[in-house]
Structure 1
Amino acid sequence: MSPKAPRTAEEGRGGGSQTDVVVQGIKRLIIEGTLRPGDRLPVEKDLAEALGVSRSPLREGVRALSMLGVLETRQGDGTYVTALDSSLLLAPMGFVVDLQDRSGAPHLHAVRRILETEAAALAATRISADDLAAADEVLRRTEAELADGEPDHEVLIDNDIAFHRIIAKSAANPVLEALIEALGGRTTRDRLWRSISQKGADESTHSEHRAILAALQGHDPDRARTRMAAHLFGVEDYLHQRPVDTEAMAR
C-alpha cells in the first residue's frame, strides 16, 4: 500500500523542520496502519514525494527514527519498520537517564522502587516454576560467592541484576519490564558502590533477596511487594547517607 500524502499543506510545509515533517509523517503512517511492524518503507523517491520533502531531510528523519528503534536499515535491502516492541522503543530512555547528574540519583531509585515493587506483586501471581528455579539458582551462586570470604563485587552485582530481571520478566508486562531495564544502567553503578563501601551490604541484600523469593514461591503478591519495597529502600537510604568521597569515586 502506498503511503498517504500529508493531510494538510501546513503539515507538509510548516510547523517545524522538514526532518520533523518526515518523523511525524512516518509516525502517522504507522499509527494509521499504512505501515505495520516488519513492513518495508517505499523507495526513497516515492516516500519523499508522498511526505512533501526532499531526499536529504527524508534521510535525516529515517536516521532519527532508526535511533529511536522505530526503523531499521538493512544494508542492500532497504529500511523496515521494526517489531515496535517495548524493549526497543523504551531503550533510548536509558541514554537520557545516564545523562542525569548525581543529584538525580535518589529520584531515579525512587522511580525504580515504584516500578519494581509492582513488578514483584505481579510476578507473585504469574511466575513459573522454571523462573522460580532460575531465581533460586542465582541466589545459590551469590551464597557461594559470599562464602568465599573475599567476594567479587562485580559478580555479586551481576547476580543482583539477574535476580531482578527474572522478577521483571515474570511480571509478564513488557512495558513495565522495559522501563525497569531502562533504569538499570544508572542504578547499577550506585548498587556497586554500596556493595564495595558499605559493610554488610552484600549480606543484607542477599537476605532480602531470599525474603523476596520466599514471597514469590508462596505466590503472595502483598508480601512480595512489601519485601521488594523494604529491599529497595535500603539502597535509597545508602544514597542519602553516602560519604562525599565515595560519591566522588562514583562519578
Structure 2
Amino acid sequence: MALTDDAIAKIRSMIQSGELPPGARLPPEPQLAAQMGLSRSGVREAVKVLESARVLDVRRGDGTYVTSLAPRLLLEGLGVAVELLRDDTLLEVMEVRRMLEPVATGLAALRMTDADLDELSRILEEMRAAADDAEKLIRFDTAFHHTVVAATGNETLTSLLDGLSSRTVRARVWRGLIEGNSAHQTIDEHHAIYLALRARDQLLAQASALMHVNTSEAWLRRVLAVEPADA
C-alpha cells in the first residue's frame, strides 16, 4: 500500500504541475516506473486507483490517458458515497444541501435562460400529473433541481449538489410525503421556486428554495425516526 500511495502521489504531482495535462498520454508502465523510481506493480495499482477515481482513462491496446478532470467526472463518486451513508449522516448531508442549494437557486435566478424556465414549467406539469407516484416524482424532482443548479453555469456546484441529492434521500422524502398526504404541498413549493426564478428575483428564489429544503429535511427526519435503525 505504501508503494501504491507513493505512485499515486507522484502521478498526481505530475498532473498538478502540468507535466501531464488533461488528455495527455502517460508513458508506458516500465518507463513510468523507472522515471518515478518505483516498482511496476506499485505503478500498476496506482493507475487502477486513479482510474476508479476518474483521473485516468485506461484504453486497452492504446494506452493510459489523463481524463478531462472535469468536476462531473471527479465528483461522480460522491453520489455513490451518499447512497451508503447511515441515517444520522444522511441528515448531515441534508444540512449541507440546505447551505448550498438556496444560494445556488438565487444565483440561477440571474442566469437562467427562457429555455431553462420553459423546461422547468414542463417538469412541473409532469410532477403534478405524477403526484401519487413516488418513482416518477423522484425522477422529475431530480430533473427540476438539476436544471435549476445547472443554470448557474458552475459545474462544480452542480456536481456537488447532484451527488448530495442522491436517489436514496429523494426516495425516502417523497415516500414520506405521499404517505403523509403532503406531496401536493411540496409540489407547490417547487412551483413557488419556479415563479421566483421566472420573476428573476434572486432573494425570493433563495428564500423559496430554503423553505423547500427545510420541508424535505423535516420529512426525512420524520421518516428516519419511525424506521428501524438498520433499515
Q: What corresponds to 1:188 in structure 2?
A: 170
Alignment of 1:101-180 (within 5 A): 101-146=86-131, 151-180=132-161
In structure 1, the residue matched to 2:72 is 87
Alignment partner, residue 215 of structure 2: 234
Determine the structure 1 residue equivalent to 2:48: 63
Cα distance in 1 for residues equivalent to 2:224 and 2:24: 53
Cα distance in 2, alignment partners of residues 189 and 56 from structure 1? 43
The answer (yes or no) to whether the contact 1:19–1:57 under 8 Å persists in 2 is yes
* C-alpha separation in 2, matches of 1:52 and 1:189: 49
- Equivalence for 1:11: none
Letter in 1 for 2:185: S
**Number of paired residues?**
230
Q: TM-score, normalised by structure 1?
A: 0.87
Shift of 1:244: 4.5
Separation (CA, whole Å) in 2 of partners of 1:34 and 1:222: 44
| CA positional deviation for 1:173 | 0.8
Q: Give the letter for the 2:177 counterpart.
A: S
List alignment gaps of at least 5 residues for structure 2: none
Unaligned runs of 5+ in 1: 1-15
Letter in 2 for 1:229: L
| Bigger CA radius of gyration | 1
Aligned residues of 1:126 and 1:170 also touching (Cα < 8 A): yes
Tell me if 1:47 matches 2:32. Answer: yes
Q: Within 2, Cα distance between the matches of 1:165 and 1:56?
A: 41
What code does the residue aligned with 1:219 have?
Answer: R
Query: Partner letter of residue 160 of structure 1?
Result: D
What is the percentage of aligned positions where both structures have the same residue?
34
